């Protein structure tokens, strides 16, 4: 028969064994929580469960235990780590379309008379003469010889010190000067219209007061993106739509450029809908990046306008009539030819709106 001393030794070994198993289980729980897995102790397999032992209590299925204090401590750290990891992944997988694209732009050189000695910023040679020694870019201020201007790369970076207006400014020049994807006047007007005017009857067809539209124009030229076009200043939404249409009309190069205009007109003359869509897709490739991005944004907006056709009575056909001559202008054509092109201009814009999700 075993003595009392041997029994006490065996009991002490069993207690020490249980303490070791509990410590190992807690360490596994902490490690699992740190890795962002289930932090509950019951979900982490204990090392003791894989061992065979004489104690029958370990083989019995125990009820689920509450979350241990250690896992409760690690839970906020785990949440913070997961949020940081999600943020990193989101930034790493950011689509290129969400970034400000790098638009290429040619310099806008004009003959200039420099006061005092001046050197060419391209070849670094002296500019000789008393008047009209060279040319200066009106957008970025680059000073070069007239001969050097022919070989300068298309890397104009417009400066807000030179680009002092919004309306009647080249579209690519404006977006590069403000480092945006689209002109801020387009973004701000469309956001305001969609916020409070989509159900307005005759949207874009009814004109606002010309004096107030001029006020909006001056506000953009003076304050840029800080211009206030909210309902507090202009309650009539037709003033905002008029300001947006005026911006497109006053572009020195239309949104659908002069170079691409003939291709778009020829596309509108195609009777087969599928072939017309294919031809229109190819015609869009002729537009500069800033123009096609602005056109895409505008067409998506006009498509949303047609979703409220029952309220605003503006279908894609009606919007084509309004925006056709606004977005497209015939390059130096006679009056009769330009008049005949109006129906094709309407058809181009109508097709762009209807198939906006396919073409862009």
Cα distances (Å, whole numbers) of residue 342 to 112, 262, 268, 321: 41, 13, 11, 8
Residue 254 has pLDDT above 60, yes or no: yes
**Which token pair is 131?**
């008047």
Mean pLDDT of the chain: 80
**Which token pair is 165?**
């207006």
What's the number of CA atoms in the CB half-sphere (13 Å) around residue 311? 9
Neighbouring C-beta atoms of residue 242, cutoff 10 Å: 24
- pLDDT at residue 301, as a whole number: 98
Percent of the chain surpassing pLDDT 70? 71
Confidence of residue 101 (pLDDT cuts 50, 70, 90): low
Cα distances (Å, whole numbers) of residue 158 to 112, 137, 153: 18, 9, 14
Confidence of residue 15 (pLDDT cuts 50, 70, 90): low
Q: Which residues contact 177 (CB under 8 A, 6 or more apart)?
A: 139, 158, 159, 160, 163
Section 346-351 average pLDDT = 96
Closest C-alpha among 335, 350, 330, 208 to residue 265: 330
Quick check: pTM over 0.75? Answer: no
Q: What is the tens place of the pLDDT at every residue in 50-74?
A: 334 444 444 444 444 455 555 566 6
**H or E segment to which residue 149 belongs:** none
Confidence of residue 322 (pLDDT cuts 50, 70, 90): very high
DSSP for 14-55, written as a single string = HHHHHHHHHHHHHHHHHHHHHTTS---GGGSPPGGGGS--S-
Section 23-49 average pLDDT = 44
Q: What is the tens place of the pLDDT at every residue in 128-163?
A: 888 888 898 887 788 888 888 888 887 778 777 778
SS3 label, residue 111 = strand
């Amino acid at each position: 028969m075993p003595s009392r001393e041997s029994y006490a030794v065996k009991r002490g070994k069993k207690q020490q064994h249980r303490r070791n198993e509990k410590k190992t289980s807690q360490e596994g729980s902490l490690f699992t929580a740190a890795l962002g897995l289930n932090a509950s102790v019951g979900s982490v397999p204990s090392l003791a469960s894989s061992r065979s032992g004489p104690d029958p209590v370990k083989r019995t299925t125990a009820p689920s235990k509450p979350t241990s204090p250690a896992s409760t401590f690690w839970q906020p750290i785990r949440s913070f780590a997961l949020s940081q990891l999600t943020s990193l992944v989101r930034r790493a997988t950011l689509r290129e379309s969400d970034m400000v694209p790098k638009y290429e732009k040619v310099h806008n050189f004009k003959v200039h008379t420099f006061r005092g000695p001046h050197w060419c910023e391209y070849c670094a040679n002296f500019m000789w003469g008393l008047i009209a020694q060279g040319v200066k870019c009106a957008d970025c201020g680059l000073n070069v010889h007239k001969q050097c201007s022919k070989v300068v790369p298309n890397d104009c970076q417009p400066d807000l010190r030179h680009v002092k207006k919004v309306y009647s400014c080249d579209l690519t020049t404006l977006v590069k000067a403000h480092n945006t994807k689209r002109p801020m006047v387009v973004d701000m007007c469309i956001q305001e219209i969609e916020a409070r005017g989509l159900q307005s009857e005759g949207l874009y067809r009814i004109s606002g007061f010309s004096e107030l539209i001029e006020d909006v124009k001056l506000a953009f030229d003076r304050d840029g993106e800080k211009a206030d076009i909210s309902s507090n200043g202009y309650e009539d939404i037709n003033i905002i739509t008029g300001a947006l249409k005026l911006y497109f009309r006053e572009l020195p190069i239309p949104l659908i450029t002069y170079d691409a205009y003939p291709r778009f007109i020829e596309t509108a003359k195609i009777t087969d809908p599928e072939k017309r869509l294919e031809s229109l897709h190819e015609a869009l490739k002729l537009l500069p990046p800033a123009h096609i991005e602005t056109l895409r944004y505008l067409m998506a907006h006009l498509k949303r306008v047609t979703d409220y056709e029952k309220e605003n009575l503006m279908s894609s056909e009606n919007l084509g009539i309004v925006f056709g001559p606004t977005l497209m202008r015939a390059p130096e054509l006679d009056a009769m030819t330009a008049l005949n092109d109006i129906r094709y201009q309407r058809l181009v814009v109508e097709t762009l709106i209807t198939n906006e999700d396919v073409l862009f």
